[in-house]
Structure 1
Amino acid sequence: MTRLLDGFYRSLLYLAALFMIATLAVILLGVAGRQFNFDVPGLDAYAGYSIAAALFLAMPATLRNGDHIRVTLILNKLEGNARKLADYWCLVAASGLALYLAYFSLRLMWLSYVTHDVSPGSDATPLWIPQIAMALGSVGLALAFIEDLALKLLDQERILMPGAEMARTE
């Protein structure tokens, strides 16, 4: 199951990279448009959609690679069962918050689709399209936290995605 989820997280990470490249392309197109006097409506909105997509799609792999910043000031002071209990509490709380975010991201995307909500900008993009990336990333983050909690409950060590090493961000 872990290998399947790691493949999902890696796929989302590759999509995030593509959206970063798309952000660059949109910005360069805007610069070229100003230099050569042509206009493409909605470029600012598309750059924003791409940045948001890259951010949300990269969250699950970032967590699995150990690159999320954990504030361990209090955890490092705890020992034994108190530390273990605090770790469980943190994972349960993070899983709950991530599930909450995933639910409301999916709900927002669905409502935008059903109500035919469009961007107020000149591009008039149906908003459910860019919201897909937010929903996918949120679901992936929730799965990653739940997977970490399950591994902790099974008393197993979290295995980083292949090629990753734990960040020194604590």
Structure 2
Amino acid sequence: MTMLRKFLDFIYVAAGAVAALCLVTILLLIVAQMVARWTGAVFPGAASYAGYAMAGASFLAFANALNRGAHIRVSILLNSLSVGPKRLLEIWCFGLAAAISAYFTYYAYWFVYWSWKFKEISQDQDATQLWIPQSVMVLGGAILTVALIDNLVSVIVKGDHRITRDIVDQSFGE
């Protein structure tokens, strides 16, 4: 079981690291586009690539952000409940979130599949096959679904989730 725990934690951190690399990629693309404009050159598709990197950064960061307590949670109600009702409410919240995330990931998969099947390409200058950047959305959604189920199982089995308290979260008086 500890091997599975280490593997899942590695996946969450690795996805967060790749999301950070996507943010650096956005910076580099913007700088390259600025330099290209200053020199009179053209960098076709830079804005599209930056958009793809932004989608990658967003979706890949979801699971890591969840486990680090960076997602918005309204914990005023949770903090006011006793242990039993709090546990039931957290089971309901994680279960509903996992179901919604799984639903989204399932339909995102079919969205990517049909983009691949029909060989859809971007209408911008880059002419990228759209299934490639769309696949990141499915991967990030799947990792988020696993993270939500991981927290749901933790609440059911151990009585507490795996979300760590962030200093920023604590600074708001919770």
Give CA deviations for 1:78-103 in whole Å, capped at 9, x if unaligned: 22432222111111111111111211
For residue 157 of structure 1, report the CA deviation from its aligned partner. 4.1
Matched, 1:27 2:30: yes
Identical positions, percent: 32
Q: What is residue 45 of structure 2 aligned with on the other side?
A: 42
2:87, 2:155 within 8 Å by CA — same for their partners in 1? no
Q: What is residue 166 of structure 1 aligned with on the other side?
A: 165
Q: What is residue 109 of structure 1 aligned with on the other side?
A: 112
Give CA deviations for 1:96-118 in whole Å, capped at 9, x if unaligned: 11111211222211111111111
Q: Give the Cα–Cα distance (whole angstroms) in 2 for the partners of residues 157 and 93 of structure 1.
A: 17
Equivalent of residue 57 in structure 2, options 51, 54, 70 = 54
Equivalent of residue 92 in structure 1, options 84, 95, 100 = 95
Q: What is residue 12 of structure 2 aligned with on the other side?
A: 9
Using structure 2 for the length normalisation, give the TM-score.
0.88
Q: Give the Cα–Cα distance (whole angstroms) in 1 for the partners of residues 165 and 83 of structure 2.
A: 23
Stretches of structure 1 lacking an aligned partner (at least 5 in a row): none
* Distance of aligned partners of 1:80 and 1:158 in 2 relative to their CA distance in 1, 3 Å threshold: closer
2:113, 2:131 within 8 Å by CA — same for their partners in 1? yes
Matched, 1:139 2:138: no
Using structure 1 for the length normalisation, give the TM-score.
0.90
Figure out how many residues of one structure are paired with residues of the other and give that number. 166
Stretches of structure 2 lacking an aligned partner (at least 5 in a row): none
Structure 1 segments of 4 or more deviating over 6 A? none
Q: What is residue 126 of structure 1 aligned with on the other side?
A: 129
Higher helix share goes to which structure?
2
2:36, 2:43 within 8 Å by CA — same for their partners in 1? yes
Q: What is residue 70 of structure 1 aligned with on the other side?
A: 73
Q: Give the AA of the match of 1:40.
A: F
Matched, 1:155 2:158: yes
Equivalent of residue 82 in structure 2, options 48, 54, 79 = 79
